[in-house]
Amino acid sequence: MLDFLFYFFAAITLVSALLMVLSPNAVNGAMCMIVAFVGTAAMFVLLEAYFLAILQILVYAGAVMVLFLFIIMLLDVEKDDVGTFSREKLTIGASVVGFALMVVLVCQAFSGAHLPEPALLPVPENPSGSEDGLVFTTSSKSFGYSLFTKYMLPFQVTGFLLLAAMIGVIVVSKKPKENQDS
């Protein structure tokens, strides 16, 4: 039964992600992205990672997608023929780069040379010699402890990438000022 549920939610996630990419309407693409996030959260539940599933629903499907939809509505995307040649070249270039990246990742996955898996951090019930009195007993606390100690650099890099994406959305959404002199 667990295998069937995994394949079911994986199919929902993949189909909705494909529809998101192929959707000509930005709002429909965002709705498909929400379905993909919910499918991913369901797979986290199957892995018994309930905390990550709740975070996936609350943070991504909730807050981030509401922000995306708000920005999409503010952009007022119009179809115009200006710059279609450069968009076509950009689309072809991005497709080639994406396909090359996919080929490299598939070859790397089947080559057998993988990065070593990181060891799990032990979280003691009663740490000896604990000066600050912190005791990490629940899974969310141990997740936070691991995130802010061992994985602090990737966490900070992710934050800067999200900041860059937010600045990019703000720059794209600003409308050019028209001359008031005419």
Tens place of pLDDT per residue across the chain (182 aa): 888 999 999 999 999 999 988 888 877 888 888 899 999 999 999 988 888 888 888 888 888 777 777 777 777 655 555 555 677 777 888 888 888 988 888 887 777 666 566 666 565 555 555 555 554 455 677 777 777 888 888 888 888 888 888 888 777 777 677 665 55
| Torsion sign over Cα 156, 99, 112, 8 | positive
d(CA 6, CA 89): 38
Q: Give the contacts of 19 (CB within 8 A, at least 6 positions apart).
A: 28, 29, 32
The reported pLDDT for the residue numbered 42 is 93
Q: Which sequence spans correspond to the domains of the chain?
A: 1-76, 135-174
pTM of the model: 0.51
Q: What is the DSSP string of 114-141?
A: -PPPPPPPP--SS-TT-SS-----SHHH
d(CA 23, CA 17): 10
The reported pLDDT for the residue numbered 10 is 94
Contact between 17 and 36 under an 8 Å Cβ cutoff? The reply is yes
Q: Indicate the CATH number for domain 1-76.
A: 1.20.120.1200
The C-alpha R_g of the chain, in whole angstroms, comes to: 22
Q: What is the DSSP string of 56-79?
A: IIIIIIIIIHHHHHHHHHHHT---
> Token digits for 164?
């860059």
| Torsion sign over Cα 149, 150, 153, 155 | negative
Question: One-letter amino acid identity for 84?
Answer: T
